[in-house]
């Protein structure tokens, strides 16, 4: 059954918010343009707005039927923009204030994970000054990352004392608060959640210690494997934890949950949740939906729009039909 028959929204006026001043600006612009193009093909009137001081007046003048939040990082992803849109009385896509704010804050997310009994890397939180002056933080190797941020921007894997001392060269790029956590060797995997279902888990093969910005977005630097080449019980656990966290935070429509699997110690560690998954040509969530459910990019955007408008009930049933009402991996590669 075509998505257009699953639930009908009619032609809409949609403002696509993207860009802004976040370090993830370029990723947001690329995804926003791709979404706007899809909306046009779906018969909607889409207008791309680069978030700035004039955005409120532009949105009020437009009075769109829907605001598609294609922002990444910063105030676009931490709940500030969704809260502003609520105040303005404008309907928007993606998660609302609370889920976005907690999901963006890796420290708060870890506290939620602890309450849910979900495993995550050992960690500490240090100010920039403490990080640069401490004699020792965690046993090597470890990873430092901003408390709030995405796309692996500002993330460093530290394997030795000399590398730790070399952090001073990046002092201007360090945030006021930084998370220091144990480095988890092994496989990088991500689970897509869509319309309240864990859809599937993908593995990423790349050179280097971490899934870097270049590996994520530069062509040819990463290979995507679906389904992830991990044991069946670990695959099921990733799916279980992803939907559990998604629901606990109150995420809406979609999210992506990132893990590391240490095959030597048979340990799965949850790294973070992304309430605004990327929508670029190299992004995991739309690719997983295509490979697992047969949904093309336009259909994914269509379902996001309809769920935001509150007419996604039949769409959720449709997703269940595509998945055969199961969250199992097909086929098994282990």
What tens digit of pLDDT does each residue of 262-308 get? 999 999 999 999 999 999 998 999 999 999 999 999 999 999 999 99
Q: Among the options 28, 82, 283, 287, which is catalytic?
A: 283
Mean pLDDT calculated for residue range 148-177: 79
13 is catalytic: no
Task: Please report, in range form, the residues annotated as the binding site for Mg(2+).
Answer: 258, 272, 274
Q: 3-94: which CATH topology?
A: Rossmann fold (3.40.50)
Cα–Cα distance measured from residue 19 to residue 28, given in angstroms and rounded to the nearest whole number: 5
The answer to whether 78 touches 69, Cβ cutoff 8 Å, is no
What tens digit of pLDDT does each residue of 66-107 get? 999 999 887 888 899 999 999 999 999 999 999 999 999 999
Q: Where in the chain is the domain with CATH 3.30.1490.20?
A: 122-182
181 is catalytic: no
Q: Over the chain, what is the mean pLDDT?
A: 89
Cα–Cα distance measured from residue 307 to residue 254, given in angstroms and rounded to the nearest whole number: 10
Q: Where in the chain is the domain with CATH 3.40.50.20?
A: 3-94
Sort 117 into a burial class: Cβ within 10 Å, 0-12 / 13-18 / 19+: exposed
212 is catalytic: no
What tens digit of pLDDT does each residue of 229-258 get? 999 999 999 999 999 999 999 999 999 999
Instruction: Provide the whole-model pTM.
Output: 0.90
* Percent of residues, the chain, with pLDDT higher than 90: 65
pLDDT, residue 7, reads 53
pLDDT, residue 262, reads 98
Q: Where in the chain is the domain with CATH 3.30.470.20?
A: 187-322
Beta bridge partners of 50: 18
Task: Please report, in range form, the residues annotated as the binding site.
Answer: 258, 272, 274
Whether the pLDDT of residue 5 is over 50: the answer is no
pLDDT, residue 2, reads 42
pLDDT, residue 133, reads 83
Q: 122-182: which CATH topology?
A: Dna Ligase; domain 1 (3.30.1490)
Q: What's 187-322's CATH class?
A: alpha beta
What tens digit of pLDDT does each residue of 191-230 get? 999 999 999 999 999 888 888 777 777 777 899 999 999 9
Q: Among the options 22, 24, 100, 181, which is catalytic?
A: 24
Q: Which two tokens stand for residue 244?
A: 């559990």
Q: Among the options 28, 151, 212, 255, which is catalytic?
A: 151
């Amino acid at each position: 059954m075509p998505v257009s028959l699953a639930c009908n929204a009619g032609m809409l006026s949609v403002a696509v918010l993207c860009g802004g001043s976040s370090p993830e600006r370029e990723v947001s612009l690329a995804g926003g343009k791709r979404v706007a193009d899809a909306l046009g093909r779906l018969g909607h009137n889409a207008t791309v707005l680069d978030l700035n001081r004039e955005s409120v007046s532009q949105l009020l003048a437009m009075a769109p039927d829907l605001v598609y939040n294609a922002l990444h990082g910063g105030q676009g992803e931490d709940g500030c923009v969704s809260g502003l849109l609520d105040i303005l009385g404008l309907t928007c896509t993606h998660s609302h204030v609370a889920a976005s704010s907690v999901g963006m804050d890796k420290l708060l997310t870890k506290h939620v994970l602890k309450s849910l009994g979900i495993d995550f890397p050992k960690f500490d939180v240090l100010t920039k000054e403490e990080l640069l002056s401490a004699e020792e933080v965690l046993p090597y190797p470890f990873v430092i990352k901003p408390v709030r941020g995405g796309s692996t921007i500002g993330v460093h894997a530290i394997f030795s004392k000399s590398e730790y001392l070399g952090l001073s060269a990046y002092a201007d790029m360090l945030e006021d608060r930084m998370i220091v956590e144990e480095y988890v060797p092994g496989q990088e995997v991500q689970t897509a959640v869509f319309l309240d279902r864990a859809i599937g888990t993908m593995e990423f093969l790349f050179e280097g210690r971490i899934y870097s910005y270049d590996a994520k977005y530069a062509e040819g630097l990463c290979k995507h494997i679906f389904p992830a080449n991990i044991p069946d019980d670990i695959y099921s656990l990733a799916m279980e934890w992803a939907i559990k966290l998604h629901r606990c935070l109150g995420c809406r429509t979609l999210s992506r949950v990132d893990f590391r699997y240490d095959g030597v110690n048979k340990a799965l560690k949850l790294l973070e949740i992304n309430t605004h998954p990327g929508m670029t040509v190299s992004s995991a969530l739309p690719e997983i939906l295509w490979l697992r459910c047969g949904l093309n990019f336009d259909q994914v955007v269509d379902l996001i729009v309809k769920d935001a408008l509150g007419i996604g009930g039949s769409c959720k049933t449709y997703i269940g039909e595509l998945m055969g009402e199961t969250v199992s991996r097909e086929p098994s590669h282990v």
